[in-house]
Amino acid sequence: MNLSDLWEILSLQNYNTRVVVLSTTILGIATGLVGSFLLLRKRSLMGDALSHATLPGIAIAFGLMTSWGFDGKSLPVLLAGASISGVLGVLLMLAIRHTTRLRDDVAMGLVLSVFFGLGIALLTMVQEIPGVSAAGLESFIYGKPASIILSDFILIAVVSVAICLTTILLFKEFTLLCFDDGFAASQGWPALWLDIALLGLVTAVTVIGLQSVGLILIIAFLITPPTTARFWTNNLSHMAILSGVFGALSGWLGATVSALYQDLPAGALIVLVAAALFIASMLFAPARGVVPRSLRQRRLRHKVARQHVLRAAYEILETQCDHEHHESPGAHLVDNKPFRSETLLAKRTWSRRSLHKTLRAEQKLEHLTLRPDGTVLLSEAGFGEAARVTRNHRLWEAYLITHADIAPSHVDRDADMVEHVLEPELVLELERVLREREAWIAMPPSPHTIPNH
């Protein structure tokens, strides 16, 4: 393929390419938007069940129209039959869910298997009708976007726009339904009807997607873009927008590659592009991607290890100062003096290797100096950081002992889990609460060294 052919396809100069690419792109926006709520509703298999439930309707519509002397392969007629069959599948799933103790996945599995089996049987029957050609009906199973014409594009565009507008208008209600349908019902919202409306939108987008990706692959078009968007954000509105973008990209790139390499089916390529976007997002998305999350956890582990060393160093200096002045723990200012690095091993269950690794990291940050004689001396910045970390830890300990009635012998573990993520605002709030309780001092003493009376 030369550059002129590539530019002709990318610029949508070819009529058939333009219709197919625009149809799959618009469909991708609609499936991504609706699929976001389907994913949050924990009904990922609903689209699969609905798509399989449309097959009997296609076969019945074809059989009826041909028996009445009309064109049985008219796309609006076939999609109307698919819609009726899909709605019946939805109603059957809702009836099973609300009248029995069976779970949603059982209802979806029943509808999927029964309707698909019925559809295959009906397709076999209509193909045996004398004088009638049913060739091409199987394209609804696997999809055949190359057969899309202008009237099909207009139908897909109109229905997709209607689906998007309806979803946007009911965005707040769908959000409430997805996160807590019981609360929505208790507040007077028609939870059941909202559920039916959501499933109706899923049915509509499934039906118009049959010709593009087929009933087998439509589930990937419904679920993969929302799942991909979930890796990028924790905000629902942002997720819905990104889901539509990823759906559009999947449709556009899949159909474009299929136009470049005509032997490759567009429906399968659309799904493969969506899967590639999913894998890339799963690995590298900044919000929830595997690699950024691993890097954040690694940085947090190193930060926790460094703060533990600094707090242990401060407590060693505190103990040395108490012994020199023969006073109770925490009763005076702590002097920054050298101490043996070996004493740090007794403060926590460090291995020598991990401890020295952390000490070298702190030395690079100029928080301390490792002397040749095996002693450690905190720098001015390191001593200040050690005092801050120790103070935050003890503030949280004092708060837990005062307000949560946690025993001093157990509070250290709970404080360890929180102290490393304390924000300055929370530290100020802890100081305020403890000051009101007359339990605040500049450096609270460790509850583990306060003698019991």
Q: What is the pLDDT of residue 66?
A: 81
- Higher pLDDT pick, 243 / 347: 243
- Higher pLDDT pick, 342 / 440: 342
Q: What is the pLDDT of residue 410?
A: 59
330 is a domain residue: yes
Q: What is the pLDDT of residue 31?
A: 92
Indicate if 39 and 172 belong to the same structural domain: yes
pLDDT at 98 over 50: yes
Is the distance from CB of 160 to CB of 29 less than 8 angstroms? yes
350 is a domain residue: yes
Q: What is the CATH number of the domain that holds 34?
A: 1.10.3470.10
Indicate if 184 and 299 belong to the same structural domain: no
Is the distance from CB of 55 to CB of 279 less than 8 angstroms? no
Q: What is the pLDDT of residue 420?
A: 59
C-alpha to C-alpha distance for 143 and 21, rounded to whole angstroms:
14
pLDDT tens string 298-353? 988 888 888 889 988 998 888 877 666 555 544 456 788 898 888 888 887 788 88
Q: What would the two tokens of residue 98 be?
A: 């609300």
pLDDT tens string 116-152? 888 888 888 877 776 666 666 666 776 777 778 888 8
Indicate if 197 and 311 belong to the same structural domain: no
Q: What is the pLDDT of residue 231?
A: 94
For range 31-44, the mean pLDDT? 87
For range 283-304, the mean pLDDT? 90
pLDDT at 57 over 80: yes
User: Where is the domain boundary, 189, 220, 251?
Assistant: 220
The pair phi, psi for residue 367, each rounded to 5°, is: -95, -20
105 is a domain residue: yes
- What one-letter code names the amino acid at 158? V
- SS3 of 144, please? coil
Q: What is the CATH number of the domain that holds 432?
A: 1.10.10.10
225 is a domain residue: no
For range 55-70, the mean pLDDT? 83
244 is a domain residue: no
User: Where is the domain boundary, 220, 253, 274?
Assistant: 220
Mean pLDDT of the chain: 81
Q: What total of structural domains would you count in the chain? A: 2
Indicate if 206 and 307 belong to the same structural domain: no
* Range of the structural domain that residue 306 is part of: 294-436
Indicate if 196 and 298 belong to the same structural domain: no
Indicate if 196 and 51 belong to the same structural domain: yes
- Of the pLDDT bands very low, low, confident and very high (cuts 50, 70, 90), residue 8 is confident
Lowest mean pLDDT among 56-65, 165-174, 273-282: 56-65
Q: What is the pLDDT of residue 334?
A: 78
pTM over the 0.85 mark: no
- SS3 of 167, please? helix
283 is a domain residue: no
Residue-by-residue DSSP string for 337-404: --EETHHHHTTS---HHHHHHHHHHHHHTTSEEE-TTSEEEE-HHHHHHHHHHHHHHHHHHHHHHHHS
- What one-letter code names the amino acid at 65? M
Lowest mean pLDDT among 6-10, 107-111, 191-195: 6-10
C-alpha to C-alpha distance for 217 and 27, rounded to whole angstroms:
13
* Strands in 198-308 per DSSP E: none
Indicate if 213 and 317 belong to the same structural domain: no
C-alpha to C-alpha distance for 94 and 100, rounded to whole angstroms:
10
Q: Name the percent of the chain in helix, strand, coil, to the closest 5.
A: 75, 0, 25
pLDDT tens string 383-427? 998 888 888 787 777 777 776 666 665 555 555 555 556 667 767
User: Where is the domain boundary, 172, 199, 220?
Assistant: 220
227 is a domain residue: no
342 is a domain residue: yes
Indicate if 171 and 58 belong to the same structural domain: yes
Indicate if 214 and 313 belong to the same structural domain: no
Q: From the CA atom positions of the chain, what is the Rg in Å?
A: 33
